[in-house]
Amino acid sequence: MQLSKSDIIRQLQKEVLAIQRPHRQSGSSLNTGLWEMEQAFPGNTFPLGAVHEFVSNAREEAAATNGFMAALMSRLMQKGKNTVWISAGRTLFPPALHLFGIDPDRVIFIDLLKQKDVLWAIEETLKCSALAAVIGELKELSFTESRRLQLAVEQSMVTGFIHRHNPGRQNNVACVTRWRIRPVSSDTGGVPGVGFPRWKVELLKVRNGKPGAWQIEWSAGNFRQIKQNLFSIPDFQKRKSG
Amino acid sequence: MPRRYAAIWFPQLTTDRWVRCNPALRDVPFVLAAPERGRMIIKAANAAARTRGIHVQMVVADCRAIMPALQVFDDEPGLPAKLLDALAEWCLRYTPVVAVDMPDGLLLDVTGCPHLWGGEEPYLKDIVSKLKGYGYDVRAAIADTIGTAWAVCRFAACAHIIEKGGNLDALLPLPPTALRLDKNIVDRLDKLGLYQIRNIVSMQRKALSRRFGQALLSRLDQALGQEHEVLQPIQPLQPYIERLPCLEPIRTAKGIEIALQQLLEQLCRRLAKEEKGVRKCVLKAYRMDGNVQMIEIGTSRPSKNVTHLFKLFELKIATIEPALGIEVFTIEAPVVEDVPATQDVLWDFTEGGNGTAVAELLDRIAGKLGVQTIHRYLPDEHYWPERSVKLALSLADEPQTAWRADLPRPIHLLPRPEKIEVTVPMPDYPPMLFRYNGMLHQVSKADGPERIEQEWWLQQGLYRDYYCIEDEHGARYWLFRSGSYESGEPEWFIHGFFA
């Protein structure tokens, strides 16, 4: 009886997932190479065709966040599609994208002045299914606005990354995940110099999944999880608002 | 349809203009003169002056000797061109194809126009009488070819309308100058006693070509209609134009949308037939009160996609003020380009990489936010970080050189380096401590230096020694020292953040 109950629950979960993401294509999945991180997502695969939210506070964190997003993006761009990077006051240096496995000439930058225009451009680009991914750098994002973005990607199945630098408040948004990326000391194995970029990746919120935190390194064009020191779930997860 | 051309000649263009501006000069002998080799040479003389024996190219001092009362004014060099341009504009009422024929004439392609004036005779009469009314001395002629019309208008005594096929008869009695020949050819013909075209036409073409060059034959053929001659119309033809008159004046946005949709469909149907695409498109709305409202769009690659063009226009429909209502809509494509037939194939081989969709998206963004907001970068062969990328000019630009992967470059580069305070062991070591924005950072790991020299052919200045730095919290920075310790205290800057 017990067994069948858990079976039923698993079956129901699958059905609910299928209802929630009706356009999900079986072929398109993102192989991050991070088995443990992928366990946190519903269906054990990185959600594509959705909007992900990244939050950063300091400039160093913003750089780490953009690096992590670029690394994820490189996995999405392997099919020869373009990506669009929309921002106001961009400091991103295109040649560095090459170190994360992206041809910088395949990224189209849209540099705007007003947040309102940024939002409009993000929504418009998310509707274009010919793109691999859209990255938007924003400060504030209200729930309504995030809902609009989510609706746009549900039609086009484009993956959107919203990077919120120094948000005024951490309000609730309709994105599937919320991430926070922080740089941590690299490991060079005793050799002098700076090692590969290494981040503490915190998945603060994920719809239908388990939040978590990992240490991830980007080395030689691949993600690598650093196993030795696992992180506990940060304490603000306990807050319901998350 | 056999073509008909009109030539208009203004024998006294500049002096007529002077009289028109100063009516008091009408019967006064006057000349326009300009300095040439230290003397004042007459460039134009009016009728009153010419009757006293004063001609163009005479020296003013000589003329003054003949006639002390002669008035002399300065000649304005660019005036004929300006006048002819204005007159050509004016002539657009007679035909859409008007060309300026420097230095003193106009050429009109009147094919299919004269019947609106009731035939060629009234048509020509109308042109001449109107221009005469403005005070210009005018002669005009209509013929089958530009060459004949030009010759007849300037050299024939009478019969200014040459019937179809009458080219040769009309030309025979005229002097060779009427063929628009170079002066030296005319002089040579003159020397040989060939005073009329009739003498030339009967000669062997080979002999003519050997003696006078190909120019004479080609002019002759043009005049006789055996060689095609093209006009350079002042207003280029706008063949890609569609027009939609409305039964009732339109005042709503929905109405404008419907009109736009219809016009675009007509335009694109034609473009598709001719394998062309729009680069620039203008919608004009003619209002009842005479005002013309206009919206314009541009595309980044030729497009004949109705939905795409409609979306571009849609963003701007709100700027049209219908006021009392719009009577007529026209859509015009001033810039069209060939759409290569292979385009679809070219773009579809990358799996799902639909270039057209991306181009259309960028058009929409450019339409609303401006084309200067869209950037794409290609590698440039410079080590200096600020110069290591260049803007791609179009969506199809490919990098000429590969992106460098061997040098560490920060993911965030500050638009201009910011000054920092450092504690650093001499001479070439990375800093131990640095203070940026009031925060003290302890350096735990460092790489470098990577020296980047100024490119002296572009800019003078100090070289930079770059260090990759990791602080005690794991944040990574790109710092540099500007110059060396030999020239006093070098300054340190932060230039970027690594991921």
Domain of A148, CATH number, reads 3.40.50.300
Name residues whose C-beta falls within 8 Å of residue A219's C-beta, 6 or more positions apart in sequence. Answer: A196
Is residue B474 in some structural domain?
yes
Is residue B350 in some structural domain?
no
**Tens digits of residue pLDDT in B198-222:** 888 888 888 888 888 888 888 888 8
Average pLDDT over residues B70-80: 84
Contacts of A125 in chain B (CB under 8 A): 361, 365
Report residue A163's pLDDT band, with 50, 70 and 90 as the boundaries.
very high
Q: If you average pLDDT over every residue of chain B, what do you get?
A: 84
Q: Which residue of B has its CA nearest to A102?
A: B403
Last residue of a domain, one of B215, B237, B259: B237
Compute the distance between CA of residue B475 and CA of residue B413 in angstroms, rounded to an integer: 15
- The pLDDT score that the predictor gives to residue A28 is 57
In this structure, are B195 and B248 located in the same domain?
A: no
pLDDT at A145 > cutoff 50 = yes
Compute the distance between CA of residue B493 and CA of residue B491 in angstroms, rounded to an integer: 7
In this structure, are B259 and B328 located in the same domain?
A: yes
Residue A180 bridge partners (DSSP): A55, A202
- The pLDDT score that the predictor gives to residue B22 is 84
Give me the domain span that covers residue B449: 412-497
Average pLDDT over residues A179-195: 86
Is residue A89 in some structural domain?
yes
Task: For residue B339, give Cα distances in angstroms to A33, A163, B266, B304.
Answer: 43, 39, 18, 9
Contacts of B364 in chain A (CB under 8 A): 124
Mutate to test the interface with A, among B348, B412, B442 (most CBs of A within 10 A): B412
Q: How far is B290 from chain A (nearest CA, A)?
A: 36
Is residue B275 in some structural domain?
yes
- The pLDDT score that the predictor gives to residue B348 is 38
**Tens digits of residue pLDDT in A98-130:** 888 888 888 999 999 999 999 999 999 998 888
Number of independent structural domains in chain B? 3
In this structure, are B255 and B113 located in the same domain?
A: no
- The pLDDT score that the predictor gives to residue B345 is 38
Is residue A3 in some structural domain?
no
- The pLDDT score that the predictor gives to residue B344 is 43
In this structure, are B204 and B97 located in the same domain?
A: yes
Chain-chain contact of A70 with B415 (C-beta, under 8 angstroms):
no
Compute the distance between CA of residue B202 and CA of residue B168 in angstroms, rounded to an integer: 11
Share of chain A above pLDDT 70, in %: 88
Of B374, B378, B475, which is closest to A108 when you measure between CB atoms?
Answer: B374
Q: What is the ipTM of this complex?
A: 0.82
Contacts of B351 in chain A (CB under 8 A): 79-80
Q: Which of A143-147, B29-33, B398-402, B426-430 has the highest mean pLDDT?
A: A143-147
Is residue B407 in some structural domain?
no
Contacts of A101 in chain B (CB under 8 A): none
Of B358, B392, B412, which is closest to A130 when you measure between CB atoms?
Answer: B358
Mutate to test the interface with A, among B411, B441, B473 (most CBs of A within 10 A): B411
Tell which residue, B382, B379, B405, B403, has the closest CA to residue B391: B379
Strands (E) in B55-150, as ranges, are: 71-74, 97-101, 105-109, 139-143
Last residue of a domain, one of B179, B213, B237: B237
pLDDT at A162 > cutoff 90 = yes
Give me the domain span that covers residue A67: 48-185+195-228
Average pLDDT over residues B56-83: 84
Triad B253, B255, B261: Cα angle to 5°:
100
In this structure, are B154 and B279 located in the same domain?
A: no
Number of independent structural domains in chain A? 1
- The pLDDT score that the predictor gives to residue A26 is 42
Last residue of a domain, one of B292, B317, B339: B339
Domain containing residue B253: CATH number = 3.30.1490.100
Is residue B62 in some structural domain?
yes
In this structure, are B147 and B273 located in the same domain?
A: no
Is residue B400 in some structural domain?
no
Is residue B6 in some structural domain?
yes
Contact of A118 with chain B, judged by CB distance below 8 Å, is answered with no
Is residue B351 in some structural domain?
no
In this structure, are B48 and B165 located in the same domain?
A: yes
